[in-house]
């Protein structure tokens, strides 16, 4: 099976995304993760563009050992010298030389004749050979270059020593079958093309970067240049995760292999998103939040019966723990029942029916119903959790120069219990007082507060999660006083925990 090499340019072309700029430390962190991902080539930067990029490429060359480390350079002596300097300590380095070859770029950007461009390309490759690195050559804007001139340039640089010929669709102008045909023409008209590895570099201006890359592979390309999350100049580049998983998932059609450790894809995506500040769109293929989430009732029913009915990729194969059934107004009773089973509830038919009706009412009010919502629905609507403890009185003292204290009175049946405690803030003090009254030893694992309504007198809703051994239970409290809402949520969670323990006996 023919191997397709994955050339990652997140640190170079990806950094050209508007608003993105990596520090050397951030570049190295991403490079280490790309090494774990097992990409074949890391294009670490453009050394001539800045001292910072030169330093980043140097450091990556010294510390990253498995992938080939590549540095970009224009077909100019100073650029090539800088690239060679940056790569001098690389275990295996590559200088990537480019020059524009399309009529519009030569005339308006370079202001050079085709003869001058050809000369610079050949001289650039000749100079790069002295640095003992692999040499890759790119005719920028190849998809808008006249065929005869493109063949002439490629033949000349291969003759001079270029080992990898990369054909960039620089402005995302090409379409799949046209791009595939371009490689067919190159193989037929460049006499020495068999001496070089063919590569493609696609941009996404028309939304076809991945499709163009895959068509290029079918047309003889052995290296695909891409970025994590598809980031890059303008609309971005071909997305690494899409290209790789298309080749893996449809191996039956493509018949090629890649060396990527796919279980590192999701982790790499999140790292790049965090360091660039560019969120991954929810419906992004492979790594988007919704890539393995199912909302429609028909789809959920199919997934529960056989995952491959609606999942062509196993979520764990890209590093996602599992797919998820998103419960909302389109969900059916099958998915609802299965989620309750997963949460540990075994309801009678009448209880299940009541809970499902409550779920549907709630789903009409909010886009997504979470596990905590389901627990409230089941326990409040279907099971009616007994209120063993209830808040009777609360008083706190707090300030930036005093120790926070709380006095709490709680009812248990006809009896009233009172305790006081100090804490790190009023909420902590309240919770310690409640613990003394209930005698239930728990750990607070999550606390969140948000406004239910607008204005200064808005209702505050507090959600808490408490843990006792392996059991995690949620609680909710609402009040215009956030300390009172916090106390109610904590007591609610304790009541649910006690009820759950009784049910499990």
d(CA 435, CA 451): 26
Whether pTM exceeds 0.85: no
Q: What percent of the chain has pLDDT over 90?
A: 65
d(CA 458, CA 39): 52
Distances (CA, A) of 30 to 3, 123, 206, 309, 333: 24, 33, 28, 35, 44
Average pLDDT rounded to a whole number, residues 72-78: 98
Count helices and strands (H / E) in the chain: 17, 18
The rounded mean pLDDT for the chain is 89
Average pLDDT rounded to a whole number, residues 21-46: 94
More confident residue, 333 or 418: 418
Average pLDDT rounded to a whole number, residues 132-137: 97
CB burial readout 84-97, b (16+ within 10 A) else e = bebbeebeebbbbb
What are the structure tokens assigned to 271, written together? 């790292």
- The answer to whether residue 110 scores a pLDDT higher than 90 is yes
- The answer to whether residue 252 scores a pLDDT higher than 70 is yes
- The answer to whether residue 321 scores a pLDDT higher than 70 is no
Distances (CA, A) of 303 to 245, 293, 294, 309, 328: 20, 10, 8, 6, 16
More confident residue, 8 or 323: 8
Residue 427, SS3 per DSSP = helix
For residue 319, name the pLDDT band (cuts at 50, 70, 90). Answer: confident
At 424-448, the pLDDT tens digits run 999 999 999 999 999 999 999 989 8
- The answer to whether residue 356 scores a pLDDT higher than 90 is no
At 443-479, the pLDDT tens digits run 999 898 977 555 665 567 788 889 998 788 878 787 8
For residue 420, name the pLDDT band (cuts at 50, 70, 90). Answer: very high
Q: What is the DSSP string of 83-152?
A: HHHHTTT-SSEEEEEEEE-SHHIIIIII---HHHHHHHHHHHHHHHGGGT-EEEEEEETGGGS-HHHHHH
Residue 179, SS3 per DSSP = helix
| DSSP label of 203 | B
Q: What is residue 397's predicted lDDT score, i.e. its pLDDT?
A: 96
Contact 467, 446 (CB under 8 A): no
What are the structure tokens assigned to 7, written together? 């050339």
Average pLDDT rounded to a whole number, residues 491-504: 83
At 225-240, the pLDDT tens digits run 999 999 999 999 999 9
Contact 161, 203 (CB under 8 A): no
- The answer to whether residue 201 scores a pLDDT higher than 60 is yes
Other C-beta atoms lying within 10 Å of the C-beta of residue 174: 28
Q: Tell me the domains of the chain and their CATH numbers.
A: 2-276 (3.20.20.70), 293-382 (1.10.238), 390-504 (3.30.160.270)
Average pLDDT rounded to a whole number, residues 407-419: 96
d(CA 327, CA 374): 10
Nearest to 226 by CA among 487, 12, 491: 12
Q: What is residue 505's predicted lDDT score, i.e. its pLDDT?
A: 63
Q: What is residue 364's predicted lDDT score, i.e. its pLDDT?
A: 77
Q: What is residue 455's predicted lDDT score, i.e. its pLDDT?
A: 60
Q: What is residue 81's predicted lDDT score, i.e. its pLDDT?
A: 98
């Amino acid at each position: 099976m023919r191997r397709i090499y994955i050339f990652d340019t997140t640190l170079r072309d990806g950094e050209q995304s508007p608003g993105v700029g990596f520090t050397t430390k951030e570049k190295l962190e991403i490079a280490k993760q790309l090494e774990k991902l097992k990409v074949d080539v890391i294009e670490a930067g453009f050394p001539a563009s800045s001292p910072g990029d030169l330093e980043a490429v140097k450091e990556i060359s010294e510390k990253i050992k498995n992938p080939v480390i590549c540095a970009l350079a224009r077909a100019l002596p100073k650029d090539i010298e800088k690239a060679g300097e940056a790569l001098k300590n690389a275990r295996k380095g590559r200088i990537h030389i480019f020059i524009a070859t399309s009529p519009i770029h030569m005339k308006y950007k370079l202001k050079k004749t085709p003869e001058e461009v050809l000369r610079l390309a050949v001289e650039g490759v000749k100079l790069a050979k002295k640095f003992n690195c692999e040499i890759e050559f790119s005719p920028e804007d190849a998809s808008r270059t006249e065929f005869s001139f493109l063949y002439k340039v490629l033949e000349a640089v291969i003759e001079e020593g270029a080992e990898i010929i990369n054909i960039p669709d620089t402005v995302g102008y090409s379409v799949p079958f046209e791009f595939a045909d371009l490689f067919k023409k190159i193989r037929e008209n460049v006499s020495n093309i068999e001496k070089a590895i063919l590569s493609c570099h696609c941009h996404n201006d028309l939304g076809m970067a991945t499709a163009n890359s895959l068509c290029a592979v079918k047309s003889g390309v052995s290296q695909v240049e891409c970025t994590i999350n598809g980031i890059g100049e303008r609309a971005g580049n071909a997305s690494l995760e899409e290209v790789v998983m298309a080749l893996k998932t449809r191996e039956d059609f493509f018949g090629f292999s890649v060396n990527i450790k796919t279980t590192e894809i999701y982790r790499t995506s999140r790292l790049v998103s965090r360091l660039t500040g560019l969120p991954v769109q929810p419906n992004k293929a492979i790594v988007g939040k919704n890539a393995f989430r199912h909302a429609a009732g028909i789809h959920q029913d199919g997934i529960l019966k056989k995952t491959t009915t609606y999942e062509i990729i196993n979520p764990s194969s890209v590093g996602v723990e599992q797919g998820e059934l998103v419960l909302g107004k389109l969900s059916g009773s099958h998915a609802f029942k299965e989620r309750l089973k997963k949460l540990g509830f075994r309801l009678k038919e009448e209880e299940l029916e009541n809970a499902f009706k409550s779920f549907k009412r709630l789903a009409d009010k909010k886009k997504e119903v979470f596990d905590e919502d389901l627990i409230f629905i089941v326990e409040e609507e279907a099971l009616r959790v007994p209120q063993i403890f209830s808040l009777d009185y609360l008083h706190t003292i707090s300030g930036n120069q005093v120790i926070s204290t709380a006095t709490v009175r709680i009812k248990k049946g006809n009896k009233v219990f009172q305790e006081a405690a100090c804490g790190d803030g009023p909420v902590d003090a309240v919770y310690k007082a409640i613990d003394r009254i209930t005698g239930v030893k728990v750990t607070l694992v999550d606390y969140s507060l948000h406004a239910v309504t607008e204005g200064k007198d808005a209702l505050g809703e507090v959600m808490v999660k408490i843990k006792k051994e392996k059991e995690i239970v949620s609680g909710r409290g609402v009040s215009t006083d956030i300390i009172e809402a916090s106390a109610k949520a904590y007591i609610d969670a304790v009541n649910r925990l006690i009820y759950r323990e009784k049910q499990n006996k």
